[in-house]
Amino acid sequence: MNRQIYLDANAWCPPLPQAKEAILKALDIVGNPSSPHRFGRQARAMMDASRLQCAEVTGFSEQEVYFTSGVSESSRWVIDALDNLGRSLNRRLTVVTSALEHPSMRKRLAQATELDIYFISISKSGVLELPDALSQADALLLSGAHNETGLIWPWEAILSKVKPDCIVYMDAAQSFSRISLPLERVDALSLSGQKIGGIAGAGLLNLRNNALKLQPPWPGPGQEKGVRPGTEPFVAIHALAAAISQIHSTRTAYQHIEGIKDQVEAHLSGLFDDLDILLQEQQRLPNTTAITFPSVDGSALRMKLDRLGLAVGFGSACSGLAPEPSPGLLALGLTEQEAQSTVRISLPPTLSEADFNEICHRFDQL
C-alpha cells in the first residue's frame, strides 16, 4: 500500500515541538488558576504569561484577550451577543457576512432572530459584490480567508465602507498562521489553537473597541472575567501560546510552500484540459488550492485519491463526512456536480520538493 501523503493542513496541522514542550510543562502545573492559594496563584501566573504572549502577537492588550475552546465557540459567542444586543436595543441589527463562511458562523447566523443578514459574494470568476447594507452595518462578520479556496478577502476594501461604530469580527482560523492580517480595525478576533500549531481545545476571542458593546452571552462562574465560564483548558492554552509565539517562522514556512502549490497547480493543469482552479486570479492563502475536475464523478474521485494515498479535503473538514456538496462552493456558482468533484489541497508547511515529485507522480495515475 502507498505511503499516505497528508495534503489536508486546513483540517488539521501537527502541533509544533514548542507546543508539545508547553504541554508537558503544563501537565506538571498543580492547581486551578481560579483557586485563591499559592498553587492557584502559580497556575494563574502561567495563564497570565500565556495571555500576554497571545496579546503581543495579535496586537491586542492583555485585558482584551479571552480564552475559549476555539473558533466555533468564539463565533457563537459573538452572534449570541449580537442577538442579545438587538433584543436589548429593541431593534433589528444589520449584519454583513459572506456566503463562504465556516458552518460555525453560517449555521448560527441562520438561527439568529434579531439580525438582518446581508451577504458579500464572489463568483467563481472572481467578481466581488458588496451589499449596499455594508455602509449601514452594525456588524461585519467575516473570515480572514476562505477555508476551501484559500480566498483572502479584500479586507481593506471592505473595511473602507463600514461605519466607525460597526462591530468588526474576524474569524482568523485559517488565515492567522499563514499570512499577516490587517487587524487594526478589527474589534473582535478569533482563532483556534490547532490551526496555528497548538492542539484542539483552546482558542482566542479577543475583544476591544466597538466589541465592548457586546455583553457576555454565557452566564456562569467567573472565569475569564465572566466572558467565558468553565475551568480553563490550560494545557491547550499553554500549547496555543507556545505556538503563537512561533507565528513568524510558521508564516515564513507557509510562504515557502506557495511555490510547491503553484507547481502542483501547473502540473495538474497540464494533465487535465478541463480542470478549474477556483479563484486562481485572486489573492489566496499560500498553501490552499481548490480544484474542480468537471469530468470526474465526485465519489469516484474520492475513492481514487484515497487509493493513491493522497489525503485531501472535500468541503470543510468539519463537514467532510457529509455527502452534501459544500455550500461555500455552491455560493461561488458551482453546480452540485462541480462542487462534488472539487478537491481541496491544503499543503502542510513541512512538505518537501521530494514530496512534490511524489504528489505529481500519483496524480499522473488519476
Contacting residues toward its own copies, per CB under 8 A: 4, 6, 8, 11-12, 14-15, 20, 23, 27, 30-32, 34-40, 43, 69-73, 76, 102-104, 107-108, 110-111, 192, 194, 199-202, 218-223, 229-236, 302, 305-306, 309, 311-314, 316-322
Q: Which is nearer to its own copies, 40 or 294 (CB)?
A: 40
How far from 141 is each of 70, 89, 134, 215, CA to CA, in Å? 16, 20, 11, 17
CB atoms within 10 A of CB 128: 15
Smallest separation, CB 64 to its own copies (Å): 20
- Spell 63-86 as b/e; 16+ CB within 10 A means b: ebbbbbbbbbbbbbbbbbbbbebb
Is the CB of 162 or the CB of 172 nearer to its own copies? 172
CB 80, min distance to its own copies, A: 10
Q: How far is the CB of 61 from its own copies (least distance, A)?
A: 21
Nearer to its own copies, 103 or 144 (CB): 103
Identity of the residue, 166 or 285, whose beta carbon is nearer to its own copies in the bound complex: 285
Residue 350 CB, nearest approach to its own copies (Å): 11
Measured in Å, how far apart are the chain's first and last C-alpha atoms? Answer: 16
C-beta of 313: minimal distance to its own copies in Å?
7
For residue 109, which phi and psi values (nearest 5 degrees)? -60, -35
Give 147 or 210: the residue with its C-beta nearer to its own copies. Answer: 147
- The rounded distance, in Å, linking the Cα atoms of 209 and 191 is 18
Q: Which of 140, 87, 144 is nearest to 118 (CA)?
A: 140
CB 326 within 8 A of CB 332: no
Residue 11 or residue 95: which is nearer to its own copies going by CB? Answer: 11
- Min dist CB 150 to its own copies, Å, is 17
